[in-house]
Amino acid sequence: MVFGKIDYLNLLPVHLLLKRRLRGANQALSLRAKRGVPSKINRDFRARRIDAAFISSIEGRRFKHVKLGIVAKAEVQSVLALPHSGFVPDAASATSNMLARLLGVQGRILIGDAALRYRIQGGEGVDLAQRWVARERLPFVFGLLCYHRHARVLESIEREMMRRKPRIPYYILKQVAAEKALSTSDIISYLERISYTLEPKTLSGLHRFWRLYRINRHRYM
């Protein structure tokens, strides 16, 4: 399986589970990661250079997906609009840029681990997930686990994630904390803000976003 890997903290539990599951249960299937920021993974997935990936929810509406995503039900800290006189999109993102536009939020969009570090260090900005939840009373889905191949493997990951979040060994937490210039407690606190399963209310939030996108996309193209 060629998996599109986005090296953001929010996907660490899923990547660990996927690696463990393939290593332990499928002798004929190996995992090869193709890395990139979300916008690059979107392009690689559309071109079928990768078999499966968490792709932006804007893109995910057109592809097969399991019931797993990157979900925020309140403040998320890693998708921000920083103070700025106008609107400056983040080239790494598709969904977050559109979310800011739909919410009428100005500023420089910053996503991922850089946004998380900025927020933890006391930086100011609008948390876009928090703004969406306050307005819509629904969770926001930033990405969906979509696939071209290997549906059965991904469905088994889905079932396990629905039972419980994977535990992250402490030695991995320490290693990742050093790589990301964050503390282990920062990482644990952050991951507690992320959900992965697409429950009925979460799906309502996703479909609401898709509907608003369809209505408004031509204004922003």
- DSSP line for 102-141: HHT--EEEEEHHHHHHHHHTT---EEHHHHHHHHHSS-EE
**In one letter, which amino acid is 113?**
D
- Long-range pairs for 163-171: beta carbons < 8 A, 24 or more residues apart: 165/13, 165/191, 165/196, 166/13, 166/14, 166/16, 166/17, 166/20, 168/12, 168/13, 168/16
Summarize pLDDT for 22-39 with one digit per residue, the tens: 765 554 445 566 677 888
- Domain total of the chain: 1
Tell me what the pLDDT averaged over the chain comes to.
90
32's enclosing H/E stretch is strand 32-35
Tokens 């979900």 appear where? Answer: 71
* Beta-bridge partner residues of 87: 107
% of the chain residues with pLDDT over 90: 71
Tokens 């930033």 appear where? Answer: 142
Counting every residue written for the chain, the total comes to: 221
Q: What is the CATH number of the domain that holds 196?
A: 3.40.190.10
Summarize pLDDT for 134-190 with one digit per residue, the tens: 999 999 999 999 999 889 889 988 998 888 777 899 999 999 999 999 999 999 999
pLDDT of residue 196: 94
Tokens 């998380």 appear where? Answer: 116
pLDDT of residue 28: 42
pLDDT of residue 135: 97
The boundaries of the domain holding residue 44 are 2-220
pLDDT of residue 29: 46
